[in-house]
Amino acid sequence: MKRLPLSALQAFESAARRGSFRIAGEELGISPSAVSHAVRKLEDLMGAALFEREGRAVRLNPAGEALMRHVAVGFDEMRQGIEMVGARSVNLLRLHCAPSLAAQWLLPRLRTLLAGQPGLEVRLAAGVNYPRFEHDEFDADICYGPPRQEGLIVVPLGEETVTPLCAPEMAARISEPLDLLAHDLIESDNKRVRWSHWFESNGIAPPGPRGSRFDRSFMAIAAAVDGLGIALESTRLAEREIARGQLVAPLAGKANDVRYVGHYLVFPRAAKARRAVRMFTTWITQELDVPTPRI
């Protein structure tokens, strides 16, 4: 296999991503002609054209697209490796989190976390496609529901209380569980505790679907604040809205709430050696008043 210059591959990757030798040059700190020469050298060494040139614009041809798929992955792997062994990696936490917990609970506390852990740097991504830690893209994950992957360190993040929540003006018309049947009930499609569970726990036949539906709890909470109906949500996720008086629990002490462990902090066993992971694990378990594991 031919040994290809890293500088030529870097010029190719930047030009392919940017669609311009000029912009690639600005990104790399070299002239557009230097980018063009580097790409030409790569094409000569590989014996194949990689770009279709149209004036000052360039775009990948099929051969270039095929190469770019692999080169992009390679540069990303290099970047991650450099971060892992670089000086900054000691205090860098690459964290994935369930979207609603990230928006409703973690972000409002991020300033406190960083102030209490000088030097800690957090890179936060939120989504429901939980990482499997196969490509070292994240150090830890806060997932919704028990993790399905084996071989991870799993830290349950305590019980959450799920109860009907609504705007104060709507709460004035609710004094018992049956009163809910006269109102729109906001659904969170991806939630593990649904209205049917709540009604059954209170000895009431669940009504048919009625009201707005959302696939994220933070949207259901926002809809309840706006008076669109009653949301069945975790008081942990809605704590800010409750504290501000935007939402109230009209049936507190008058109905059976559902309590369950909804979120888990998980990370590979190898990650426990990282100072940032240990710092975050200690912080979040203390913040939630749950046992801190020995890692």
What pLDDT, in 10s, does the model give residues 242-286?
Answer: 999 999 999 999 999 999 999 999 999 888 778 899 999 999 999
| pLDDT 10s digits, 133-160 | 777 788 999 999 998 888 899 999 999 9
| pLDDT 10s digits, 68-102 | 999 988 888 887 676 666 545 668 999 999 999 99
Average pLDDT over residues 6-25: 91
- pLDDT at position 87 is 46
Burial 20-56 (b: 16+ CB within 10 A, else e): bbbebbebbebebebbbebbebbbeeeeeebbeeeee
**Is the Cα torsion angle 48, 53, 59, 62 positive or negative in sign?**
negative
pLDDT at 129 over 90: no
1 falls in which pLDDT band (50, 70, 90)?
low
- pLDDT at position 132 is 74
CB half-sphere exposure, 30, CA atoms < 13 A: 16
pTM of the full predicted structure?
Answer: 0.71
| Residue bearing the bigger pLDDT, 75 or 61 | 61
